[in-house]
C-alpha cells in the first residue's frame, strides 16, 4: 500500500504527535493499479489480457501486468497533460 495523506500546498498543523505524511508498503512484488481507459478503447480490453505500462517516476521502464477487471462506469476527467 502506498498513500499520500497531504497535498502540495496543504497546511499541516503541528502538534504533540507528528502527522503521517506518507505510507509506503514494504512489499511491492504485487501491486493493484487502477487505470483509466479512453471510452473508444474500453470495449477492446478484456480480463486476463497481458498489459504493459509506464509510470511517471520511471518513464523508461516498462512494467507488465494482467487485466483483472474492467468496469464500465464512465467518469468525466480533465486531462493532466
**29: alpha, beta or left? (left if phi > 0; alpha if psi -120 to 50):** alpha
What confidence tens digit (pLDDT) does each residue in 3-19 have?
666 677 776 666 655 66
What confidence tens digit (pLDDT) does each residue in 15-74 have?
655 666 666 666 777 788 888 888 888 889 999 999 998 888 888 999 999 999 988 777
**Which pLDDT value is given to residue 20?**
65
Confidence of residue 81 (pLDDT cuts 50, 70, 90): low
Alpha helices (runs of H) in 1-81, residue ranges in sequence order: none
Beta-ladder partners of 4: 22
pTM: 0.54
The answer to whether the CB of 2 falls within 8 A of the CB of 25 is yes
CA distance 17 to 69: 40
- Residue 48's nearest CA partner among 68, 65, 32, 64 is 68
Amino acid at each position: 500500500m502506498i498513500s499520500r495523506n497531504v497535498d502540495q500546498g496543504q497546511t499541516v498543523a503541528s502538534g504533540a504527535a507528528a502527522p503521517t505524511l506518507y505510507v509506503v508498503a514494504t512489499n511491492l512484488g504485487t501491486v493493484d493499479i487502477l487505470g483509466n481507459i479512453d471510452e473508444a478503447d474500453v470495449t477492446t480490453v478484456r480480463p486476463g489480457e497481458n498489459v504493459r505500462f509506464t509510470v511517471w517516476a520511471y518513464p523508461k521502464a516498462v512494467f507488465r501486468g494482467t487485466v483483472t477487471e474492467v468496469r464500465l462506469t464512465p467518469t468525466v476527467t480533465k486531462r493532466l497533460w
